[in-house]
Amino acid sequence: MPTRATKRGAERTRLDRDCDVLVCGASFAGLAVARELRETGADVLLIDRYEIGERQTSACGIPTGWLEQLDLQDALQQTFGELVIHTPYTTVNYRLPWTFSTFDYRTLCELLAEQGSFTFETAKVNGRTAQTVHTDRGDIRAAHIVDGLGWRRVLGAGENIQPPDALLSRGLEVHPNGSGTDMEIWIDRSYVPAGYGWSFPAGAEVRIGVGSFDPRFHVREPTERLAEDLKAPAVRYQGNWIPHALREAAEDGVYFVGDSAGHCLPLTAEGIRTALYFGLAAGRELRGVLAGRRSAEEALTSYAAFSASHATAFRWMLRCQRLIPRVAPSLLAGSLRAMQSRRFLDWAFGHYLEIAHPRFVAAGSRGARLPISPSVP
């Protein structure tokens, strides 16, 4: 069990205060929002139940361009120019038009945090009444509130979504020591009927896991079996629910960013770059409000519209997510082989990257308005 760095019990002091912006959740989404609020002069408070970078929430794979654009290369562990896909009938090597990298979670979070200017406190968020957020250390009142708390959407209005009925996937991985050269995935029903297994080498460890798009399917046994098949011990478990449908990105005056808004891509369960991307977008809207360029309501509406403008791409990926398990494995193998042409891969992966392109980082620093989302044809 990882040790908890956060102070507990009597060591915890009261936290009862006001602030301009309260960002709840200090992972990818929350840190990206906070980054955009640097040098605004606003009183920005970031809270999380754990210390920054304390709890890894994923296999930490991302298009390398995002690390470069955000100046986070020091967190980079390993880079891959190919994606290796195994099925029971074939193995294909897709040469990517851009590279993918694994990174160290703690280092990345710390580097991203250094780019913002905010106060950080550890506190568990329990809920919200209007502009007051209730935590286990007291109530915090804020003019602007961001929920970057992940799939639970703790600050949402009404009942929270609960698995297994909600549109959530299930993911679990182990982190044995070891090394590898390939970023590999398995589309194989013997591991998971709808979903995939993966092995992402990251320096001195390999992140081996299984994700199921059907929340009722348990992934512990197949994760352990995949590790065993790869001759790696199943140690250091890490798992979570992963939303795979967009939700309202603004509700009741609150910004929802990353998994809390269902920003994880439904086909691949890639949710880091989208959490960063929508986090930057929300942060830029808030920046406009703090600078007096627009009202709080205008900013929320604009952010919600920006998120919703990606709905077509998300719908397409959800369709593919549902279609793939229905395709006969032999036919799937043939289709994957047919898609190996350079031209097709450039097109497909180019569109996939466009959904949340790393150029968005620089676009904002030049003061550009939120672009209209590209849609996947």
Ligand X SMILES: Cc1cc2nc3c(=O)[nH]c(=O)nc-3n(C[C@H](O)[C@H](O)[C@H](O)COP(=O)(O)OP(=O)(O)OC[C@H]3O[C@@H](n4cnc5c(N)ncnc54)[C@H](O)[C@@H]3O)c2cc1C
Interface residue list for ligand X (CB under 6 A): 25-29, 48-50, 55, 57-62, 124-125, 148-150, 152, 154, 171-173, 209, 238-240, 242, 258-259, 264, 269-273, 275
Question: Which CA distances in Å does 28 have to 15, 212, 278, 370?
Answer: 24, 22, 10, 19
Q: Which is nearer to ligand X, 58 or 307 (CB)?
A: 58
CB 161 within 8 A of CB 188: no
Produce one character per residue of 320-359: b if its CB has 16 or more CB atoms within 10 Å, e if not: ebeebbeeebeebbeebeeeeeeeebeeebeebbebbbbe
| Number of Cβ within a 10 Å radius of residue 5 | 12
Name the residue with the smallest CB distance to ligand X.
Answer: 271
Q: Which distant-in-sequence residues (6+ apart) come within 8 Å of 168 by Cβ?
A: 151, 161, 215, 241, 242, 243, 244
User: Which residue has 């639970």 as its token pair?
Assistant: 152
* Shortest CB 1 distance to ligand X, Å: 16
Q: Which is nearer to ligand X, 152 or 236 (CB)?
A: 152
At residue 190, what is the residue type?
S
Q: Which is nearer to ligand X, 269 or 336 (CB)?
A: 269
Q: At what angle do helices 272-290 and 28-36 cross, to 10 degrees?
A: 30
Q: Which is nearer to ligand X, 15 or 308 (CB)?
A: 15
* Shortest CB 295 distance to ligand X, Å: 26
* Shortest CB 261 distance to ligand X, Å: 8
CB 20 within 8 A of CB 43: yes
* Shortest CB 258 distance to ligand X, Å: 2
* Shortest CB 122 distance to ligand X, Å: 8
Q: Which is nearer to ligand X, 141 or 294 (CB)?
A: 141
* Shortest CB 219 distance to ligand X, Å: 9
Q: Which is nearer to ligand X, 42 or 47 (CB)?
A: 47
